[in-house]
């Protein structure tokens, strides 16, 4: 099996620490507001990686976190605290904000058929573990204290930018001097592992009492830096060294870079062997932004007549390391293709009371997945199976077996009426093709036929 490892920027053979067992940690959401489809895109990609590993025969321990404390608006040590921002906006406490949006997040995950992690770590339940790691950093000489915070001393950690490949100077801008910068910091790129309840954080809503050994500190009240959270929770649930750590590409230069530094400095061991980073979901070719009014939730999709599984099918069509562009036409196409697949399975169930797995096709699917989790290629093989001449019982069994990766709940597929009603874009192509045939423009008709099959999963037969 080959995995693209960001920590080397190349495809590498996957060799877990323990044969057939995989420790897998993924960065989860900060629950200060409703998760939109771009946020859920990350959860979907992680779910597909986890399902793939299980399908390939690995025993996976999958951990994903909920950040319900802190997380400043930027990845650096500056800006407004996200949890406090949400609490102030809605006039309730940070814990109430966390409960509200964690529940909504979990509800969206169920609709998307995203499996629950083996362990869901909630940041506020691991603050003592975070403080213990900060203590280890102090004891090991990698951290120092100022009147405002405890900082990680980046100059003492070799290969700090190995993951990002950046020059250290590129990490300086915005790395902690904004909003009342700490003049006692040794370097602008040093990052906070613990904030004291003083200065701009004097009125912080979420703080904990902790006295660090052998340290003079301005107050025992404080809270952890965002980066220390994942390091402490990963260590507590998976150990010092893990097989896979996953997150969005935006985490490479700061958050994940800092995780590596503090984890390895505190534990004296390599933190992660394989770093997986997924690309972003684009909206009409550009960035998602509330100010642009192009941010949608699963609820928004449902109000427009789509199901959460339509969106899941849409995401199956893109490799996790490729950008994917969301448009309503693309979601239309995904809806049509998913319903066609569902109807196909329903027909197979009517035609055969038995289901068996075709081993040749199963091997083809495994080969695709072993190419750095190539879900789109595997999805293409599923459509190939529907057009193959293998027995219906094997088509049914093989596709249902692979649905453990796709997560489309095909076992409950029922034949839907009105499946011949297409989106305006598809109907326009069909009409255009009919016109081309009337004009005896066979080349254009064939081009449109091929496009309908490739883009929408619709096969046209002329009788």
255 appears as a binding residue in the annotation? yes
pLDDT tens figures, 315-342 = 999 999 999 999 999 999 999 999 999 9
Per-residue pLDDT for 366 more than 80?
Answer: yes
| Residue 287: per-residue pLDDT | 83
| Burial profile 273-287: b = 16 or more Cβ within 10 angstroms, e = fewer | bbbbbbbebbbeeee
pLDDT tier for residue 179 given thresholds of 50, 70 and 90: very low
| Cα end-to-end distance, the chain, whole Å | 45
- Tokens 């099918």 label which residue? 313
99 appears as a binding residue in the annotation? no
CA dihedral 53→54→56→60, nearest 10 degrees, is 60
230 appears as a binding residue in the annotation? yes
pLDDT tens figures, 193-236 = 999 999 888 888 889 999 999 999 999 999 999 899 999 999 99
Structural domains of the chain, ranges and CATH numbers in brackets: 18-278 (3.40.50.620), 328-421 (1.20.120.1910)
Whole-number Å distance between alpha carbons of 273 and 69: 28
Q: How much is the mean pLDDT over the chain?
A: 90
| Residue 78: per-residue pLDDT | 54
pLDDT tier for residue 121 given thresholds of 50, 70 and 90: very high
Per-residue pLDDT for 178 more than 60?
Answer: no
């Amino acid at each position: 099996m080959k995995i693209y490892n960001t920590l080397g920027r190349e495809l590498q053979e996957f060799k877990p620490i323990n044969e057939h067992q995989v420790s897998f940690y993924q960065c989860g959401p900060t629950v200060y507001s409703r998760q939109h489809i771009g946020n859920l895109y990350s959860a979907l990609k992680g779910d597909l990686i986890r399902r793939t590993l299980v399908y390939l025969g690995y025993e996976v321990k999958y951990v994903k976190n909920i950040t319900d404390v802190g997380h400043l608006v930027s990845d650096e040590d500056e800006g407004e605290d996200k949890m406090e921002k949400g609490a102030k906006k809605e006039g309730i406490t940070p814990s109430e904000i966390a409960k509200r949006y964690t529940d909504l997040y979990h509800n969206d995950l169920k609709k998307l058929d995203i499996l629950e992690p083996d362990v869901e770590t909630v940041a506020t339940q691991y603050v003592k573990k975070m403080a213990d790691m900060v203590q280890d950093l102090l004891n090991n000489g990698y951290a120092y204290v100022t009147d405002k915070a405890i900082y990680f001393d980046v100059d003492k950690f070799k290969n700090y930018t190995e993951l990002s490949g950046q020059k250290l100077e590129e990490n300086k801008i915005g790395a902690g001097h904004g909003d009342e910068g700490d003049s006692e910091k040794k370097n602008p790129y040093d990052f906070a592992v613990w904030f004291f309840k003083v200065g701009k954080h004097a009125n912080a809503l979420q703080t904990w009492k902790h006295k660090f050994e052998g340290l003079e500190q301005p107050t025992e009240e404080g809270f952890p830096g965002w980066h220390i959270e994942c390091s402490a929770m990963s260590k507590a649930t998976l150990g010092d060294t893990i097989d896979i750590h996953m997150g969005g590409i935006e985490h490479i230069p700061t958050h994940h870079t800092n995780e590596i530094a503090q984890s390895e400095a505190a534990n004296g061991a390599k933190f992660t062997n394989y770093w997986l980073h997924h690309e972003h979901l684009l909206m009409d070719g550009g960035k998602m932004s509330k100010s642009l009014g192009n941010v949608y939730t699963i609820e928004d999709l449902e109000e427009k007549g789509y199901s959460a599984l339509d969106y899941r099918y849409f995401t199956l069509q893109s490799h996790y390391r490729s950008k994917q562009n969301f448009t309503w036409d693309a979601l239309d196409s995904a809806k049509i293709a998913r319903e066609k697949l569902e109807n196909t399975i329903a027909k197979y169930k009517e035609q055969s009371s038995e289901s068996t797995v075709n081993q040749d096709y199963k091997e083809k699917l495994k080969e695709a997945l072993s190419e750095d989790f190539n879900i789109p290629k595997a999805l293409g093989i599923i459509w190939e199976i529907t057009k193959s001449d293998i027995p219906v019982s094997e088509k049914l069994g093989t596709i249902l077996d692979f649905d453990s990766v796709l997560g489309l709940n095909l076992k409950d597929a029922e034949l839907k009426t009105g499946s011949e009603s297409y989106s305006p874009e598809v109907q326009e192509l069909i009409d255009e093709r009919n016109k081309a045939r009337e004009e005896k423009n066979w080349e254009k008709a064939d081009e449109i036929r091929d496009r309908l099959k490739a883009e929408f999963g619709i096969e046209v037969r002329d009788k």
